Every structure is written in structure tokens, then in C-alpha cells.
Chains A and B, each alone.
Chain A
Amino acid sequence: MNQPSDKLMSLKDAIERFVADRAHISIGGFTINRNPMAAVYEIIRQKKRNLHLYAHSNGQAVDELVGGGCVSRLEIAYAGSGRFAPTCIRFRKAVEQGRLQVEDYSNYQMTLRFMAGAMGVPFLPCRSGLATDIANTWGFPASLRQSDPKLPDHKLVVTENPFGTWCDTTKVVLVPAIVPDVTILHVQEADSHGLVRIEGLTFADIEQAKAARRLIVTCEKLVETGRLKQRPDANQLPPFCVDAVVHVPWGAYPTACYRHYDYDPVFLNRYKQEAAGDESYRQYLEDWIFSHKDHKAMMDSIDKDRLASITADGRTGYASGLERR
């Protein structure tokens, strides 16, 4: 019997193959949870440049991609890492120093934009943002929009409800679809053909995945073909959405991966300090990212007891009692 194609590859190969300089990329996860960190570190290691990044509410991954010098344009709703960095640190510096062009949306707008991409429609309507600067102030000038065929001509469009006052609504905000060149997700389980299972909250990962031209999935556990099909209602993405499957244990570290491990408060607190200064950040990039050849080497460098302390317990799916100060 014919088998579907095997998409298993190394992270190095997946990033080399699917993430080009100037690519429009989107990354899954939310603030300090299930960010595709191994892939982010590989992008930084390969010195990708001038990426156009789409995110809704991302924290650590956005900050490291910006800090690593990979991103020149960002469309985003929120850049923060919870209590560890209420505003992402390298992101903040880059914007204040004029090194990063940003366009702000709300979280729901970004979600709908990915959904529109996934549905293959040019825009979706919402009631969010009327009379705000999100609607009235553009981050990217019209000239930039016209020069890049991957960008729509308008940030968004506010218009009368074409159905009159149907649903007690007089005005709507139309937000344009996002079609990333590539989306990168980290998930709990996948098989080598690209059948994907996410546990816990899916955030907007599914919409981001379906909107993209290419999809890289890194997975905590690589499972045998057929096993995920025993519980199909727990799966989210069929293999035909997926271009690369990469097995990367601890692939979301230092962010959390529900039922596998918690975020690492020690790492995130230290990052906060190291990211605060340009020189200390250069040192951080060297010591943590460039001096390790891959994610496994990075994880091997971390104290085993520390990793044990953030390992999720079977009852709650996180590391209960973890010291998080």
C-alpha cells in the first residue's frame, strides 16, 4: 500500500528551505506558552534578515527574533511576556530607536486576519476598534504598501454595515487577510506525515497554520503513524497542511508546553536582565544561541535539576509548586 510522503527533517533543513530573507512569517503560541522557540533560535543562528513578522499576542519568540536582528517589520496586537516582561524588552528598544516598523492591531483583529487567510477570503468584518487609533493610524505608509505586493493597500477599512442596521450594527471594521509565506508552530504531538495534535489552548495556531503557504511543525513527541487516528477528535491539522515535521523535545523552552513542561522562571528572569543592555544582550546571543549548534546542545547545557523542576505533573499539566518569583 502507498504511504503518504514523509516530511520529517532536521530543523536546520526546515529553516534553510522554508524561511528566506524577507519572508513573511507567522509564529504560533501566546506570550510565554508554546512559542516555537527552537525554530526561532535556528532562525537567529542562520542570521535570517528583514523578516516581516505577524503575531497576535506573542512574547518571548517575538522578542528574541527582534533582538536577534531578524525582523524589520512587525504586525502585532501585543508584545509582552506576562509578569516577566509586561512589554517585550528588545522589541521596545527596537521601536523606540526606530529600528523596527510596527503596525498595531487588536488581538481579535489579528485572529480574524489569520482566519480570513485560512478561509481564502480577502477580509473579515468585526466591530472592534471603531473610533480608535488602531483604525485611524497606520504603521506602514501607503507607499510601502504599494511597493510590496504581499501587503494590502489599506491597513483596514471602516465602512457602513452593507446590511443596513442588521444585528443592531451601523458600522463595521474590515480587516485584511494575512497569507504568510510560512507559519511555524510547536505542538505536543505529530506523526512524520504531518498529522498534528495540540493539547490545551490552541490560541490562533490553527488559523495561522491554515492561512500560510507553508507550514513547519516542530513537535515535542513524534508518534507512530496511525496512533493519532485512534482519537481523531483530539487532532487539529491534517497532513496536507504541513510541509515539514521536526522532532524537537523541549522545542518551546523557555516557554511552556502544556502537559510537558512549564515556562522557566529562572531563564525568563535572567533574560529580563540580559536583554536590558545592548552589550549584555550581545553576550546572551553568543552564549545561549550562537555557541550551541542546535536545540539539543542548548538543552544539554541546562542543569538537569532545573529541567526536572519545570517538568509538568500529570495531574495539572504544569509544574505545580514551582518557585516563580
Chain B
Amino acid sequence: MPDYTLKEMMAIAAAREIKDGDIVFCGTGISMLAAMAAKHISAPDSTIFFETGAIDSLLEEVPLAVADPRVMYYTAVNGSLADAFAFMQNRRTGAHVVGIMGAAQIDPYGNLNSTVIGDYHHPRVRFSGSGGACDVASFVDRTIIFMQQQKRKFVPRLDYLTSPGWLGGDDSRTAAGLAAGGPAAVITNMAVFRFDDKTRRMYLDAVYPGIDPRQVLDQMGFEVDTDRAQTFQPPTKRELEILRTECDPQRLILG
């Protein structure tokens, strides 16, 4: 079995979620790397686009922000924010968009907080805020969420709901007027979670090799079903090689 870091595992796990034909909305950091890896490995016919309006950039170097000039090079179209968000919600392209996002807190239904810890008006910790996260979470059919597996991040109740997931479960998302799709997978440094088709509550889908489901639960502030948990297929030699040599040779994100 090849050696790999957890960051590499996470990037590959997310990359495997991306299919040909997908239009991939990604942020900075590991989500961008996952989108790049998918394009190089398994989904050459996927398209990366950024909320800044850059579509199908030739990413010769890893961008360090979604407005990095590296996203503007050899694009199909250099558009605007208004264009980018319209693609997420219009009837033709919206259904093909996969959003990759992260957050400071997640609850059992995949709702996300990237705004504050504590009271909104007197926060203990202030984060960057939504950016396009709330928009993509509101509109698109499928989102993939990156999280660090920590008790303080997997919370029964968010301090602030920035980006809507399955809200309170069952059909509450559509009842609120949001798009029918929602969070598909949560990828952490220990495991992959998915959401029950009916209740929409998070369950443990797979743990990384060598990790016990109990260890994952110890790092969560709420219980999840672990009966369906399998062992995750580790990255292959080819996946790792492409990730390291084609996507982030300077290890700006992989570290």
C-alpha cells in the first residue's frame, strides 16, 4: 500500500465524487485540488469554474484564491460574479453543478456555519463569512463538504446557519423553497459520511484504513448511524502520482 498523507486521501476522496459532465464549483485550498485531481484522473470531461467568473481555466499552477490571476489564464470565458452564480441556478446548467465547500461547523443535516462562533453580534470567533457558499448550497443539486473531524466542528446545533443543507431533515429543504438537491458527502481526515435518502440525517459511510468507527464518533458532538460503514479504498499509486506531480508539485496545498 503506498504511503499517503491524510490531505492527499481527502483530496482523492473528493475527486472520486466528480464525474464526467460535472461542472465543478470549487473554493480555494483542498477543494480546488480535488477538482484538479478529478480532471486529471477520472473526469477529463468535467469543467472547473470559480465564483469569480472564470470557466475552464488552464491551471498550470495552483491558485491561492479564487481571484488568483492563475484562474484567468486560458479560460473558456472570463465572466463575472453575476455570470458564475447564474450558472448555478439556471435550469440548464444548475443540475450539473457540483459544489465543493468547507466550513467551521456542520450539523447532522449538513447545514454549515462559516460566519461566527458564539453570538452573531458578539462573536467569540469571527470567520470570513459566506462568500459564495450560501449561494451554491442553496442552488445546486450536489455538494461535497470538507471538514476536519473534531467535536467542536461536528455540532448538534450551529451557532449560525450560513449555508443550507438538508435543514431539519425529511422534506424540510424543499418545503423551505430551496433546490431539491443538497449535501451528498462529507469528507474528513478520518472518514466519509453521506445522508440518508429519506431522513436526510448524516450516517457514517466509510472509514479510512486503520480507523475504527468508534474513534470517529469520539470526534463528533452528535451520534450517527455506523451500521453502513465500510473501509474506504485508499488512494492508488496512479492517483497519488497525478495529484503530486500534475496538481500540486510545489505542495502549496498538500503541505
Q: Report which A residues bind B (CB closer than 8 A).
A: 29-34, 56-57, 59, 76-84, 86-88, 91-92, 95-96, 98, 104-109, 111-112, 115, 126-134, 136-137, 139, 167, 169-172, 200-204, 206-207, 256, 258, 262-263, 312, 316-318, 320, 324-325
* Given pairs A104-B130, A200-B72, A263-B69, 6 additional interface contacts (CB within 8 A): A77-B131, A79-B129, A111-B80, A126-B89, A132-B163, A133-B115
Give the residue name and chain of the B residue nearest to A319 (CB): B69
Q: CB distance A32 to B177 under 8 Å?
A: no
Query: Inside 8 A of A256's CB, which chain B residues have their CB?
Result: 67-69
A186 and B109 alpha carbons, distance in the complex (Å): 42
Give the residue name and chain of the B residue nearest to A261 (CB): B69
Q: CB distance A128 to B135 under 8 Å?
A: yes
Q: Report which B residues bind A (CB closer than 8 A).
A: 28-29, 51-54, 60-61, 63-73, 78-82, 85, 89, 91, 115, 120-135, 138-139, 160-164, 167, 176-179, 250, 252-253
B88 to chain A, nearest CB (A): 8
Give the residue name and chain of the B residue nearest to A321 (CB): B61
B124 to chain A, nearest CB (A): 7
**CB-based closest 3 A-B pairs:** A82-B65, A171-B177, A78-B131
| Residue from A127, A128, A201, A204 whose CB has the most chain B CB atoms within 10 Å | A201
Q: CB distance A324 to B124 under 8 Å?
A: no
Q: CB distance A201 to B53 under 8 Å?
A: yes
Query: Inside 8 A of B81's CB, which chain A residues have their CB?
Result: 56, 107-108, 111, 203-204
Q: CB distance A82 to B28 under 8 Å?
A: yes
Q: CB distance B126 to A129 under 8 Å?
A: no
Give the residue name and chain of the B residue nearest to A98 (CB): B122
Query: Inside 8 A of B123's CB, which chain A residues have their CB?
Result: 95-96
Contact residue among A29, A98, A131, A317 (Cβ-Cβ distance under 8 Å from B72): A317
A127 and B136 alpha carbons, distance in the complex (Å): 10
Query: Inside 8 A of A200's CB, which chain B residues have their CB?
Result: 69, 72, 78
Query: Inside 8 A of A84's CB, which chain B residues have their CB?
Result: 64
17 contacts between A and B (CB under 8 A): A29-B67, A31-B65, A57-B67, A77-B129, A78-B130, A106-B134, A107-B51, A107-B81, A108-B132, A127-B139, A127-B179, A128-B85, A129-B138, A130-B138, A131-B176, A131-B177, A204-B82
Give the residue name and chain of the A residue nearest to B179 (CB): A127
Query: Inside 8 A of B89's CB, which chain A residues have their CB?
Result: 126-128
A127 and B181 alpha carbons, distance in the complex (Å): 14
Give the residue name and chain of the B residue nearest to A29 (CB): B67
B111 to chain A, nearest CB (A): 8
A262 and B72 alpha carbons, distance in the complex (Å): 12
Give the residue name and chain of the B residue nearest to A325 (CB): B252
